[in-house]
Amino acid sequence: MTKSLRGLIEPSRVLLDVPATCKRSVLERLADRAADSFGLPANEVHEKLQERERLGSTGVGSGIAIPHARVQVDHLQGLVMRLRQPVDFEAIDGKPVDIVFLLLAPEADNASHLKALSRVARTFRMPGVVQALRGAGDAEAAYAALVAESDQAAA
């Protein structure tokens, strides 16, 4: 498994300035987009995301959330949203979230799911990644910033 995010996301799965008013609406939008992108039932994805959030918030701090779930996909899949306005996500630092990375893993997956979560978290701790994502003018630029930084770390 590569240490880059390149295998998890693609430009069409980077969504900018998504309107949302609360954590629930973010999870609903993620589930709807996952349904469109990966051919999954939106209600099932939403329920799995809510189940995971009941265990504890996936808001990891600094305006970032990494909701994740195991669903009926063949391999790890990712989706990135930059929210139009930050929302309360019950993050560990209490700050609102404006960047959300959805990670979906196959239901039977354990090891690569955890490695991918770690990879995503490390990428968002790299200098410049979050700043570039927040300042990107379009999805291509946001995607390029995400994969360039994680590609450099993987090299």
Please identify every residue annotated as catalytic.
68
Q: What is the DSSP string of the chain?
A: --SSSTTT--GGGEEEEE--SSHHHHHHHHHHHHHHHH---HHHHHHHHHHHHHHS--EEETTEE--EEEES-SS-EEEEEEEEEEE----TTS--EEEEEEEEEETT--HHHHHHHHHHHHHHHSTTHHHHHHH-SSHHHHHHHHHHHHHHHH-
